[in-house]
Amino acid sequence: MTDQLVELNVTGMHCNNCAMSVHRMLEKKGLHNIHVSFASDEVKFTTTNDAILPQVINDIRGLGFQVIDNPDTHVEKYYQRLENKLIFCAIFTIPLLAHMILPWHWLHHDSIQLALCLPVFIVGLLHFGKSAWSSVKGGVPNMDVLIFIGSTAAFIYSLVGTIEGLGEQYRFYETSATIITLVLLGNLFEKRSVTQTTSAVKDLMKFQQVKANRVINGSVEVIDAREIKSGDTLLVNTGDQIPADGDILEGNASVDESMLTGESVPVEKKKYDSVIGGTIVQHGNIRIIATKVGSKSVLAQIIDLMKKAQAAKPPIQKLGDKVAAIFVPAVLGISLLTFILTFFVFGGGLQASLMHAIAVLVISCPCAMGLATPTAVMVGLGRAAKNGVLIKGGDTIEAVSQAKYVVFDKTGTLTTGKFKLKDVKIEGDADQSVVNGLISAIEERSNHPIARSLVEQLKTQPQQKVILKKATEERGLGMRAEDVDGNHYFLGASKDKGDSEYNLSLYKNNALLAQIAIQDDIKPGAAELINALRQMNITPVLLSGDKQSRCAEVAKILGIADVYAEKLPDEKLAVIDVFRKKGQTLMVGDGINDAPALTQADVGVSMNDASHIAIQSAKVVLLNTDLHSLVFFLKVSRHTLKTIKQNLFWAFAYNVVAIPVAAAGFLSPMVGALAMACSDVVVIGNSLRLKIKKLN
> Could you list the active site residues?
409
Contact 238, 284 (CB under 8 A): yes
The 3 state secondary structure assigned to 310-347 is HHCCCHHHHHHHHHHHHHHHHHHHHHHHHHHHHHHHCC
| Neighbouring C-beta atoms of residue 690, cutoff 10 Å | 24
Spatial separation of the C-alpha atoms in residues 629 and 258, rounded to whole Å: 13
How many DSSP H helices and E strands does the chain contain?
23, 24
Spatial separation of the C-alpha atoms in residues 375 and 648, rounded to whole Å: 11
Distances (CA, A) of 361 to 152, 337, 530, 627, 654: 11, 12, 53, 52, 14
Distances (CA, A) of 491 to 503, 517, 576, 590: 11, 13, 27, 20
Greatest Cα pair distance, the chain, in angstroms, is 117
Which of 520, 493, 193, 215 has the alpha carbon at shortest distance from 368? 193
Contact 420, 519 (CB under 8 A): yes
| Beta strand segments in 208-317, E | 211-216, 219-224, 233-236, 245-256, 267-269, 274-275, 280-292
Spatial separation of the C-alpha atoms in residues 223 and 243, rounded to whole Å: 10
Dihedral sign from CA coordinates of 546, 550, 556, 557: negative
- 427 DSSP assignment: P
Distances (CA, A) of 661 to 162, 356, 467, 668, 683: 30, 10, 84, 10, 21
Which of 180, 240, 163, 235 has the alpha carbon at shortest distance from 207? 240
Contact 77, 147 (CB under 8 A): no
| Neighbouring C-beta atoms of residue 76, cutoff 10 Å | 13
What's the gap between Cα 488 and its chain centre? 47
Contact 268, 281 (CB under 8 A): no
Which residues are bridge partners to 607 per DSSP?
Answer: 622
* φ, ψ dihedrals at 632, nearest 5°: -60, -45
Which of 107, 95, 148, 203 has the alpha carbon at shortest distance from 328? 148
Contact 43, 105 (CB under 8 A): no
